[in-house]
Structure 1
Amino acid sequence: MMGAALPLPAQDRPEPRPQQLQGGSESSPEMAEAEEEAEPESPPAPLTFGLAGPYLAARMAAVENNFTAAARYFVQAVAHDPQDRYLQDSALVALISAGEVNRAVQLANQIAAQGEPTELSQLVLRSELVHEGNWEGLIASIDETGTGEGAETQLLEGMMRAWALMGAGRAQEALDEFERLVKLPGVAPVVQYHLALARAMVGDYEGAEALLSNSAIGSHLLGFTARAEILAQLERRDEAIAMIDSVQGVEAEPQLLALRAKLESDEPIPFDVVKTPADGIAQVFLTLASALANSPDPEPLALIHARLAVWLSPDTAEIRLMMAQLLQDRQQFDLAEPEFDALRRMGQMRPIAELSRIDALSRADRADEAEKAALSLTAAYPDLPQAWIAQGDLLRQQEKFAQAVPAYDKALTLLKDAPPEASWFPLYARGIALERSGQFDRAEEDLLAAIELRPDQASLLNYLGYSWIDRSENLDQALEMIKKAAELSPGDGYILDSLAWAYYRLGRYEEAVAPMEQAIGTMSQDPLVNDHLGDIYWKVGRHREAEIQWKRALSLEPTDSGDVDPDRIRAKLDRGLDAILAEETAKGQPHGTAHASTPASQAEASND
C-alpha cells in the first residue's frame, strides 16, 4: 500500500494572507507600539507567531504523515483563523488520522454552527449520529441534502441511509433501498453483500444464503464468516465446515478456525457479523477504505474511512487490521501498535499481517520492536514455520548469527513434511548464519542442499561460490558458480564484486578489472567496492588510480566494525599494497573480503 500525505479538500487553497504570515490579523498594544517605533524599511518579523508557525509546521507534519503533530498544529492554526474552511478541513483530516475522532466531532460541530459545513465535516457529523444510534436524525440529514455526485458518494450515502432505516425499525424500506442501490453501475456485489447481512438481521437466512453463495459477493473473510453463521442458523453445519475448509489459507485465519471448532462441537452460533446497523455502516467504511487503499493510485482518504469504521465498530477484527496496516504503510508504527494490541486481546492475531508488520519494523530500523513481535508470533503460533524464519532473519540481520541458527532449525523441522521447495530459503539463511558463526562444514551442507532445490538462485550461488574462493577450495567450481550468478543477475553489484574479487584471489587481475568497474557503477557509495577496485588497479599497474579509489573509500567513512578497515587503507596509501600483503602473509592474515555475504535485504527479497 502507500504512504501518502494528508489529503487536501477539493477546493483550491489560497496561500495565507500576508498579515497572517507576519503574525496574525490582530496585534497586542505592545506589538502595535513597537511597530510605530520601527523604521519603515525594517524587514518583516520572522514567521514564528500567529498563523504562520502552526500552519507551516502542520504542513510539514502532514507531508511526513506525522498525524499527531499535524493535528496539534492545524488545530492551533484554526484558532488563529476560525473561519478558514481549508484549515478546518485539514484539522479534521489530521485529527481523524491520529485517532482523535471525538475532537474531530467537536470541530465538525463548530463548523456546522458557522452555517457552511464542508463535505468532510458533514461526514463526521453523520458518523456521530451513527455512533449515538440516532437513526431518524441520520435519515433526515441525508434526505435534506440529497445524494451527492459521483458513484462513491452515492454509494456511501445510500448505504448509510439503508442501514439507518434498519436501525429505525423500517426494515422493508431498508431492503428496498439496498435493492435500489444494486442498480448503481459497478457496485452490485458490494451492495448485495450488505443486502445479505440485512436479510440475515431480519431472519431471512435463506435469502441471505442465496446471495452469499455467489463467490462474487461473499469471497472475503467477513463474507465467509457471515455465510458460515447463516448456514448454522439453517442447520446446515456440514456445509459451513466444508465451506471453511475450502478457504485458501484458512490455517492462518483464527476467526474462521474458531468458528469451525464451534460448528464441529455443535455449540450455539449466533449471527453476529453485524450486531447493529452501526456495524453495517462500519463495514461500508471498511469497503471504501479497502478500495481506496488498493487502487492503482492509492487514495489517502482510505485512512479517514478506516478510522471512522473503527470508531463505529471497535470489536470488528477486520476493521482493526485494515487500520493497523494503513498506519504501518505510512510508517506510523506508534499509532499502529494499539490496533495490533487490540487484535491480540481479541485473539485475532493474524500471522500474515504479523509477518508483514515484522518486516516493516525491521526495514524501519526498529529491530527491538520487530524482534519482540517475532517472539510473540512464535509463542502464539509455535507450529508456523514462517514465524521461526522471521525470527531467524531478524537475528541474522543484527549479526546474531549463532542465535539465529536454532530458529532456522525449528523452521526446517516444521517443514520436514512440506514440499521440498519450501525449505530452500531457510536452508540458505541457516547456511549464512552457520558460515558467519564459524561453522562452515554445516553451512556448506545447507548451501549445497539449497542449491539442489534452487539451482538458478543467483545470490545463493554467489554466496557458496565466494565462500569456496575465500577458503581456496573447489576453485574452478566456485568460479563457475559466481559466473552463473552474474549471468542470472547481470546488474547485481554485489555479485559483480564477488566475481571480480574471485578473479583477484585467483591472480587473474586483468580479468578482474571489468566486473569490478561494473560493480562500482552500481555501488559507487560502497567503501568496500571502492577499496577492491583500488586493489585491482594496483595489481595491474594503475597505481595512481588505485590511490584515488582508496582515498574515495576513506571519504565514505568506513568503520572498524564493518567490512572495510580504514587503517588498512591508510597503510596501503602510505606503503603500497604489495608491502601490506607481504606483511599479512608473514602474519598468516587473510587479504581482505568481498560481498559474499548477501545483505539481509537481498536475502529477504529472494524469499519467494
Structure 2
Amino acid sequence: MLTSWPDDPAVAVRAYREAMISGDEALALRAARVMEAEKVAPIDVALLDLAIAAHKGDRRAYDGALTRIDGGALRILSPVLRAWGAWDRKQPVEAALDSAGKEPVARRLAEEHRLLLALAGRRMADPSARVLLETVRAPADTRIAAAELMAGRGDEANARGLLTDPLVSSARGKLGRKPDLGFGVSRLFARVGAELVGEGPRPLVIALARTALIADPGNDRARLLMAEALAKDDAWDAAIAALEGVAPDRAFAHRAAVVRIGLLGEAGRPGEALMLAKGLATAKTAGVDDWQVYADQLIAAKRPADAAPWYERVTRADPPLPWAAWLQYGGALDQAGRKDEADAALARAVALGPEEPLALNYLGYARIERGEDVPGSLALLERASKLAPDDASVTDSLGWGYHKAGQTGRALPLVEQAAMAEPANSEIADHLGDIYWALGRHYEARYAWRAAALTADDSEQAALAAKLAR
C-alpha cells in the first residue's frame, strides 16, 4: 500500500506501526520519511534513527538523531543518550548526566546509568556496584543490565547475586555482555518501555522495545517487553512471534518459554502450551516454577488427576511455599474426586492463610456441598465474605451455603447480588435458578438456568438441560 500511495500519511502511519511490530526495519524507515515530510511523524521516529546509528556505530548519525530528540517530547532521554555517546568516544560522561537537572524522571534515569557507565568504563568494582544497587533498590531492568556487564567481565557471582526476581533465570543460561553504544541505548529504551508497559501508550512501548532490539539485537529482555506489550492488545500470535528470537542458551530463555506457554493458551493453542510445559517440568533443571506451570496447564486441560501430583511437588518446595500452593493442590484433588485428601490439603491452606478469603471460601464451600460440619462450614464462608465483601464468588458461596443449610430465604439476596455483579458466571446463575425454584418462583428459575446455559461449559450443559426439561 505504501508503494501504491507513497505520499499518503495515513498509510504511512499504519505501515510504520506494523513495521515496528514485525521488525521490518526497511519499511519502518520508508514510512518514517513519508510521515516526516507530511509533518505527522510520532515522537518515537527519532528513536528509530538513533537506534540504527548506535548499532552501526555511526557517530554522526547518532548526534543528528539525538539533536532531534532534544527538541521533542522524549528529551528526558537525552542526558543518558548523550552520556553513552560520550562514553563511546572515551570522553567524560558526568556533564551529560548532570544536565538532567531537576526533572525527576530524567534524573532517575541518569543516576541509574551513571552506575552502568561506571561499570562499562571499569570505574567501579563489581561488589561495590552490587551493594549500591541493592541499597537503592534499583529496578529490575537496571539490575539486569548491571549483571550483564559484571558477567561480561567474568564476575558471575556478583552478577547472579543481583538477580533475585523471576524476570530472568540467571542460573539457566549465559548472562555476560560486553558494553558498546548499542548496549547502553538498548537498555535505556527497554527500561523506559518496562516502566510504561502497564499503563502507557502501547504504540510507544512497542516502538521502545523494537528500537531497543535494533540498537542491540541480543537484548532478549526487549523481546519479552515486546511480547508483553502485544499481549496487552490481545495480539497473541504476534506476541508469540516476538519471542522466537530469544537465544536458547541465554539467561532469558527459560522466562521466554514460560511466557510463551501462557500466550499459546490465550491464543487457543492449548496442545502446544501443554507440550511445552511438560518439557519444562520434566527437564533435569526443572524447579518449582516449572512444576507450577505444568500443573496449571493440566488444570486448563481439565486433567485435575494428572495435575494433583505436580501441585503436590510444589507444596514440598524448600523453602516452604504459602497457603496458595496448598489451595491449588486441594482444588486439584477436589476436582479429581479425592474428597478426603482434598479436605486435608484445603484445611492446610486455611491454617497457613487464616485471613485469606479464597482459602476460607474453598474449604467452606467444599464441606457444605458434602453436608459436612454445616455450622463450621458456614462460619468459614461468613469469615470469607467479611474479608472480601465485594467478591461475587465469595458472596455466592455464602448464599449457597445458607441454601444448603435450609435457610433459603436468607440465601436469595446474596446470590441475586452475586448474579448482578457477574451476570456471565454460569455457576452463580445456576445457583440462582435452584434457589428461585426452591422458593416456588419457577418462571424466574427457568430464566436463570437459561442464562447459565449461555456461558456454561459442555460438562454443565446436560444438567441445565435436564432442569429446564423438568
Q: The TM-score by the shorter chain falls in which range?
A: 0.7 to 0.9
Asked whether the 8 Å contact 1:306–1:323 carries over to 2, the reply is yes
What root-mean-square deviation, in Å, do the aligned CA atoms of Structure 1 and Structure 2 show? 3.8
Distance of aligned partners of 1:302 and 1:380 in 2 relative to their CA distance in 1, 3 Å threshold: farther
1:96 and 1:304 in contact (8 A); partners too: yes
Cα distance in 2 for partners of 1:188, 1:101 equals: 31
- 1:468 pairs, out of 367, 372, 387, with 367
2:28 to 97, 104, 122: 104
Specify the code of the residue in structure 2 equivalent to 1:106. Answer: R
Q: In structure 2, do the counterparts of structure 1 residues 523 and 141 end up closer, same or farther at CA, with 3 Å as the change threshold?
A: closer
Give the Cα separation in 2 of the matches to 1:363 and 1:190: 35
Does the residue aligned with 1:314 lie in a helix, a strand or coil? Answer: coil
1:177–1:256 distance in 2 versus 1, CA, 3 Å: farther
In structure 2, the partner of 1:148 is 71
Give a deviation string over 1:299-343, Cα, whole Å, max 9, x none: 531210210111221112322332232223332232232443333
1:386 equivalent in structure 2: 289
Corresponding residue for residue 136 of structure 1: 60
Count residues in correspondence.
462
| Partner Cα distance (2:437, 2:32) in 1 | 71
Q: Spell out the pairing of 1:257-296 with structure 2 (5 A cutoff).
A: 272-274=177-179, 276-293=180-197
CA distance in 2 between counterparts of 1:198 and 1:528 reads 57
Q: Structure 2 vs 1, CA of residues 527 and 330 (structure 1 numbering), >3 Å: closer, same or farther?
A: closer
Partner of 2:315 in structure 1? 412
Q: Secondary structure at the match of 1:341?
A: coil
Match of 2:7 among 77, 83, 87: 83
For residues 93-242 of structure 1, what are the structure 2 equivalents within 5 Å? Answer: 93-109=17-33, 118=41, 120-140=44-64, 142=66, 147-150=70-73, 152-153=74-75, 155-156=77-78, 159-160=80-81, 162-164=83-85, 167=88, 170-172=89-91, 175=93, 178-179=96-97, 181-183=99-101, 185-186=103-104, 187-195=106-114, 197-198=116-117, 204-206=122-124, 214-215=132-133, 216=136, 220-225=142-147, 228-229=150-151, 241=157
TM-score of the aligned structures, taking structure 2 as reference length: 0.81
**Aligned partner of 2:388: which letter?**
S
Give the conservation status (yes or no) of the 8 Å contact 1:108–1:125: no
Cα distance in 1 for partners of 2:409, 2:336 equals: 34
Give the one of 418, 421, 440 matched to 2:339.
440
CA gap of 1:105–1:487, structure 2 versus 1, over 3 A, is same
Closer/same/farther in 2, CA of residues 328 and 221 from structure 1, 3 Å limit? farther
- Closer, same or farther: CA 153–89 of 1 in aligned 2, 3 Å: farther
Q: What percent identity do the matched residue pairs reach?
A: 22
1:561 corresponds to which residue? 459
Change (3 A) 1:301 1:348: same
Deviation string for 1:249-286 (max 9, x for gaps)?
268744477679xxxxxxxxxx8441x32222222322
Please state how far the C-alpha of 1:394 moved relative to its aligned partner: 2.2
For residues 409-442 of structure 1, give each alpha carbon's deviation from its aligned partner in whole angstroms, at most 9, with x where no partner exists. Answer: 22223x1x424xx242222222222222222221
Q: TM-score, normalised by structure 1?
A: 0.65
Residue type at the aligned position of 1:181: S
Mapped to 2, the partners of 1:552 and 1:117 lie a distance apart of: 53
Query: Residue 306 of structure 1: which of 192, 199, 209 is its match?
Result: 209
Aligned to 1:26: none
- Name the counterpart of 1:518: 417
Residue type of the alignment partner of 2:464: P
CA distance in 2, matches of 1:146, 1:472: 69
AA aligned opposite 1:387: D
Partner secondary structure for residue 473 of structure 1 = coil
Provide the C-alpha distance between the structure 2 equivalents of 1:365 and 1:155, rounded to a whole number of angstroms: 39
Structure 1 contact 395–403 (Cα < 8 Å) conserved? yes
Say which of 438, 442, 464 aligns to 1:546: 442
The alpha carbon displacement at 1:387 in A equals: 2.3
User: 1:182–1:192: 8 Å Cα contact kept in structure 2?
Assistant: no
Whether the 8 Å CA contact 1:89–1:120 is kept in 2: the answer is no
Cα distance change of structure 1 residues 551 and 137 upon mapping to structure 2, 3 Å threshold: closer
Contact 1:193 1:211 in 2 (8 A): no
Equivalent runs, 1:458-537 vs 2, <5 Å: 458-537=357-436
Q: Structure 2: which 5+ residue stretches go unaligned?
A: none
- Residue type at the aligned position of 2:147: T
Following the alignment from structure 1 to structure 2, what is the Cα–Cα distance between the partners of residues 194 and 251?
A: 23
C-alpha distance after superposition, 1:441-480 (max 9, x if no partner)? 2112212222221223333333333333333332332233
Q: Distance in 1 between matches of 2:189 and 2:252?
A: 22
Q: Residue in 2 aligned with 1:18?
A: none
Q: Whole-Å Cα distance in 2 between the matches of residues 293 and 279 of structure 1?
A: 21
Contact 2:298 2:307 in 1 (8 A): yes
Residues 185-223 of structure 1: CA deviation (Å, up to 9, x unaligned): 33234335545555655x553499988864359663334
Conservation of the 8 A alpha-carbon contact between 1:286 and 1:319 = yes
1:140-179 Cα deviation digits (max 9, x unpaired): 5656x693144x32634x5545545555xx422x636635
Query: Are residues 499 and 193 of structure 1, via their aligned partners in 2, closer, same or farther at CA, if it must alter by over 3 Å?
Result: closer
Name the amino acid aligned to 1:289: G
**1:181–1:191 contact (8 Å) kept in structure 2:** no
- Structure number with larger C-alpha Rg: 1
Contact kept? 2:174, 2:249, Cα under 8 Å: no
Give, as a single letter, the amino acid of the residue that structure 1 aligns with 2:192: L
